[in-house]
Amino acid sequence: MLNDRKKKILQLIIEDYISTAEPVGSRTIARKYDLGLSPATIRNEMSDLELLGYLEQPHTSAGRVPSAQAYRLYVDSLIEPGALSDNERALINGWFNERRRSLDEIFQSTAKILSRMTQNVSMVLANRDAGARFRYMKFLPLDEHHAILCIITDDGNVDNCVVEIPLGMRPEELDYLAGKVSRLLEGRELSEIDEELLQIIHSNIAEDKLLFTSLVQSLRRLRNKHMEQKVFLGGTKQLLNQPEFRDVERVRNLLGILEEERVVRDLLKSGEDSGLKVTIGSENKFSGIQDCSMVQATYRLNGKIVGTMAVLGPTRMEYGKVISVMDYLHKYLKTMFEHENNK
């Protein structure tokens, strides 16, 4: 185990490196932070820390750089959480209030804020269904062959799509049909509308084959749309602010990976079970981002996963700041969703 002094020195090295992105030398530590120790002493400690695997030297005459192991220790026990400043909080509130009309926009804002505050790429995976329940459906006539199917959920969301209807079907017939299906589905979560249930509807109301087929198709589509997990990215531009990404080639690699929605989705899903998860460097099993770190938080509402947000950046990341921001966003979103649900 490390004694207190070693821990303190390691912490200072990590924090210095995080803010300067330059290898840290013994003189720097002695000069910048008042430890009452000479560079030589610090040098000895650093030498020990290197042997223990916490520090690495890019080359003999450079300073030292924290290893993944050091960051791990830092995140697990050295970090001082530290709340956001009033200023930062005001900034976040301002950004959120800019636009927050729909759920999607809230998630988009979250991604944007996360990346702006942390100067890194952010990702938000939104589980859209979030336990919404079917309330009722209704047809709005459009023309002779088409009507709009509206589905209302208990959170006040409406979804619609155009369905084909048999020529000459009267509005009353449509209303009757809508009522019948509505009674079957009322109160169910959208995720419950599975193939089996659709089959039951089918056999229950086989009065009009054509309409029925298109109705079921539409229901299925709407259900899928609701179930669909959507990925929001933020701050891909911020990447360029990090000295680690001076090299265009590296930027391109990472952006290439982020472009694959499927990959991002898997990446985010991999950490869904734990509330807060920090993955450092090669701890991450996804290829292409093994020289990056990721901080990830999962949100639940009444036990259900609402979404996952993450910040991806170089291992040299302001872990403390990232975690504070996420924490604040978490609380913010929580009240927002709860309010939404009680409406």
Task: Using CB under 7 A, list all residues that contact DNA.
Answer: 5, 23, 25-28, 36-41, 43-44, 46-47, 50, 57-64
Which of the listed partners (DNA, a copy of itself, none) does 237 bind, with a CB threshold of 5 to 8 Å by partner kind? a copy of itself
CA–CA dist 230, 131 (Å, integer): 15
228 by DSSP, 3-state: which? coil
263 binds a copy of itself (CB under 8 A): no
Burial of 202 per CB tally in 10 Å (0-12, 13-18, 19+) = middle
Residue 262 CB, nearest distance to a copy of itself (Å)?
13
Cβ-contact 146, 165 below 8 angstroms? yes
The dihedrals phi and psi of 17, each to the nearest 5 degrees, come to: -65, -40
Query: Which residue, 279, 321, 305, 257, is CA-closest to 115?
Result: 321
Residue 308 CB, nearest distance to DNA (Å)?
38
Interface with a copy of itself by CB under 8 A: which range of 168-176, 185-193, 239-247, 267-275?
A: 239-247
237 binds a copy of itself (CB under 8 A): yes
Which of the listed partners (DNA, a copy of itself, none) does 160 bind, with a CB threshold of 5 to 8 Å by partner kind? a copy of itself
Residues β-bridged to residue 342: none
Residue 47 CB, nearest distance to DNA (Å)?
4
CA–CA dist 309, 298 (Å, integer): 6
Residues β-bridged to residue 126: 230, 307
Q: For residue 80, which amino acid is it?
A: E
The dihedrals phi and psi of 307, each to the nearest 5 degrees, come to: -175, 170
336 binds a copy of itself (CB under 8 A): no
Binds a copy of itself (CB under 8 A): choice among 41, 69, 160, 182: 160
Strands 276-279, 229-234: pairing kind = unpaired
276 binds a copy of itself (CB under 8 A): no
Sign (positive/negative) of CA torsion 95, 88, 124, 127?
Answer: negative
Binds a copy of itself (CB under 8 A): choice among 140, 200, 210, 276: 140
Q: For residue 78, which amino acid is it?
A: L
Residue closer to a copy of itself, measured from CB, 83 or 140: 140
Interface with a copy of itself by CB under 8 A: which range of 63-71, 148-156, 263-271, 300-308?
A: 148-156
252 binds a copy of itself (CB under 8 A): yes
CA–CA dist 293, 120 (Å, integer): 11
Residue closer to a copy of itself, measured from CB, 142 or 210: 142
As a whole number of Å, the end-to-end CA separation of the chain is 53
Alpha carbon 2 to chain centroid, angstroms: 35
Residue closer to a copy of itself, measured from CB, 28 or 218: 218
Residue closer to a copy of itself, measured from CB, 74 or 245: 245
Residue for token digits 């991806």?
Answer: 312
170 binds a copy of itself (CB under 8 A): no
146 binds a copy of itself (CB under 8 A): yes
Which of the listed partners (a copy of itself, DNA, none) does 40 bind, with a CB threshold of 5 to 8 Å by partner kind? DNA
Which of the listed partners (a copy of itself, DNA, none) does 269 bind, with a CB threshold of 5 to 8 Å by partner kind? none
Residues β-bridged to residue 299: 307
Which of the listed partners (a copy of itself, DNA, none) does 50 bind, with a CB threshold of 5 to 8 Å by partner kind? DNA
Cβ-contact 123, 110 below 8 angstroms? no
Q: What is the DSSP string of 312-329?
A: EEESS--HHHHHHHHHHH
Residue 46 CB, nearest distance to DNA (Å)?
5
Which of the listed partners (a copy of itself, DNA, none) does 158 bind, with a CB threshold of 5 to 8 Å by partner kind? a copy of itself
Q: Which residues bind a copy of itself (CB under 8 A)?
A: 135, 138, 140, 142, 146, 148, 150, 152, 156, 158, 160, 162, 236-237, 240-241, 245-246, 248, 251-252, 255-256, 259, 343
